[in-house]
């Protein structure tokens, strides 16, 4: 649930949350197509996403006025994603103006509503000790969409990234979701952490991941297969021995 803070921080919150209310949508009985524009004082100062049924399809880069598809299969619709660049510039300027005017009008009136960022770290593939894998840090309930993400191994910093606007996904409740990835080779005793700091917020959210309950390694699999094969041969020979002794006993009788 969002937490209310004094309005002295309201400028930042209004800059990030209220523009989402201007999302435009086209819907039918089965699907929902929407465009979400947001603006804020911090970087990224403005962003535009096209969503389909809650999944991102395209993002607009305001620095070079280009369109990026979320996956390669969407590239064939790139030119149709945002067909009128002049409208995009107009809406971006309108967003900043609306944010500024609304902030001035609501000074000392409206408190800030801030959500609690939730993190979850997991591996992309089944864990194998000593084998390369990818850790995924899933970041939910992000207000606003400006994050600094730091990966650490045993408290040592591995990477620090400032996410761009094209890396976010807008949820149905108008919060944002983001993902960060780290290629690792885990060993027993390793402790990995994903640290996320929201722009303008002094608090840091941390999620840890340690190698636990790995699937058997290739060496262990080979040993187990070899043991099972040898055990099978022993039971087969034992069967022949018992069959021979039983036949010999029968002939004696």
Q: Which of 120, 119, 160, 145 is nearest to 199 (CA)?
A: 145
Q: Report whether 45 contacts 28 (CB < 8 A).
A: no
Query: Average pLDDT of 85-97?
Result: 84
As a whole number of angstroms, the distance between CA 130 and CA 80 comes to: 46
Question: What pLDDT score was predicted for residue 243?
Answer: 67
> pLDDT band at residue 14, thresholds of 50, 70 and 90?
very low
> pLDDT band at residue 153, thresholds of 50, 70 and 90?
very high
Question: Omega of the bond prior to 12 within 30 degrees of 0, cis?
Answer: no
> 154: which DSSP letter?
T
Pick the more confident residue, 25 or 186.
186
90 SS3 class: helix
Pick the more confident residue, 194 or 225.
194
User: Locate tokens 């395209």: which residue?
Assistant: 58
How far lies 196's CA from each of 13, 142, 168, in Å?
A: 18, 10, 14
Q: Are strands 66-69 and 112-114 parallel, antiparallel or unpaired?
A: unpaired
Question: What pLDDT score was predicted for residue 7?
Answer: 38
> pLDDT band at residue 166, thresholds of 50, 70 and 90?
low
CA pseudo-torsion sign 158, 164, 166, 167: positive
As a whole number of angstroms, the distance between CA 202 and CA 199 comes to: 8
- Tell me the per-residue pLDDT of 110-126, one tens digit each, with 9 for 90 and over: 666 566 788 999 999 99
Question: What pLDDT score was predicted for residue 3?
Answer: 46
Q: Report whether 210 contacts 216 (CB < 8 A).
A: no
Q: Report whether 67 contacts 60 (CB < 8 A).
A: yes
Question: What pLDDT score was predicted for residue 221?
Answer: 62
Residue 61's beta-bridge partner residues? 66
Question: Omega of the bond prior to 26 within 30 degrees of 0, cis?
Answer: no
Cα distance between the two ends of the chain: 86
Query: Average pLDDT of 15-37?
Result: 54
Q: To the nearest whole percent, how much of the chain has pLDDT over 90? A: 19
As a whole number of angstroms, the distance between CA 95 and CA 34 comes to: 17
């Amino acid at each position: 649930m969002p937490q209310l803070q004094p309005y002295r921080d309201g400028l930042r919150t209004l800059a990030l949350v209220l523009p989402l209310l201007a999302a435009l949508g086209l819907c039918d009985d089965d699907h929902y197509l929407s465009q979400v524009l947001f603006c804020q004082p911090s970087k990224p100062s403005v962003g535009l996403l096209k969503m389909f049924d809650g999944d991102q399809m395209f993002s607009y880069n305001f620095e070079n006025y280009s369109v990026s598809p979320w996956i390669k299969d969407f590239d064939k619709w790139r030119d149709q994603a945002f067909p009128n660049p002049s409208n995009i510039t107009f809406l971006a300027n309108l967003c900043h103006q609306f944010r500024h005017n609304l902030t001035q009008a609501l000074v000392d009136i409206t408190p800030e509503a801030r959500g609690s960022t939730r993190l979850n770290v997991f591996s992309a593939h089944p864990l194998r000790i000593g084998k390369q894998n990818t850790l995924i840090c899933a970041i939910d309930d992000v207000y606003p969409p400006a994050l600094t993400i730091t990966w650490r191994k045993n408290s040592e910093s591995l990477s620090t990234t400032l996410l761009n606007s094209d890396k976010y996904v807008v949820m149905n409740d108008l919060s944002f979701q983001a993902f960060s990835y780290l290629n690792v080779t885990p060993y027993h005793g390793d402790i990995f952490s994903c640290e996320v700091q929201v722009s303008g917020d002094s608090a840091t959210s941390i999620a840890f991941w340690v190698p636990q309950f790995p699937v058997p390694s290739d060496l262990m699999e080979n040993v187990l297969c070899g043991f099972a094969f040898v055990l099978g041969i022993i039971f087969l020979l034992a069967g022949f021995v018992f069959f021979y002794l039983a036949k010999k006993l029968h002939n004696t009788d």
